[in-house]
């Protein structure tokens, strides 16, 4: 399962808020909702988040094996 916990930690570390993502960088509220629920995102979206936050993919998501 893909988990987006690293994304929320990266936001805190970089000082970027969810509000800024939506209003300054045009990230949809739906994207943030899907990330909160650990639902799938496209690689295009992940790429855009990496560009915005100047980070690596590992700073956005983590694969956790389901039991």
What is the per-residue pLDDT for 30? 96
pLDDT tens column, 11-64: 999 999 999 999 999 999 999 999 999 999 999 999 999 999 999 999 999 999
- Quick check: 66 pLDDT over 90? no
Separation between Cα atoms, residue 13 and residue 15, nearest integer Å: 6
- Quick check: 67 pLDDT over 80? no
* CA separation, residue 36 to residues 2, 15, 33 (Å): 12, 18, 5
Q: What is the CATH number of the domain that holds 11?
A: 1.10.260
First to last CA, the chain: 10
- Please check whether residue 15 is in contact with residue 30, taking contact to mean a CB–CB distance below 8 angstroms: no
- Please check whether residue 64 is in contact with residue 38, taking contact to mean a CB–CB distance below 8 angstroms: no
In the chain, the number of structural domains is: 1
Separation between Cα atoms, residue 36 and residue 51, nearest integer Å: 20
What is the per-residue pLDDT for 64? 92
Per-residue pLDDT band for 7 (boundaries 50, 70, 90) equals: very high
| Host domain of residue 51 | 2-63
């Amino acid at each position: 399962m893909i988990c987006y916990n690293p994304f929320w930690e990266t936001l805190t570390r970089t000082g970027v808020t969810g509000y800024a993502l939506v209003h300054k960088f045009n990230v949809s509220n739906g994207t943030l909702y899907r990330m909160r629920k650990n639902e799938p995102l496209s690689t295009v979206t992940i790429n855009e988040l990496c560009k915005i936050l100047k980070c690596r993919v590992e700073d956005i998501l983590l694969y956790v094996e389901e039991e």
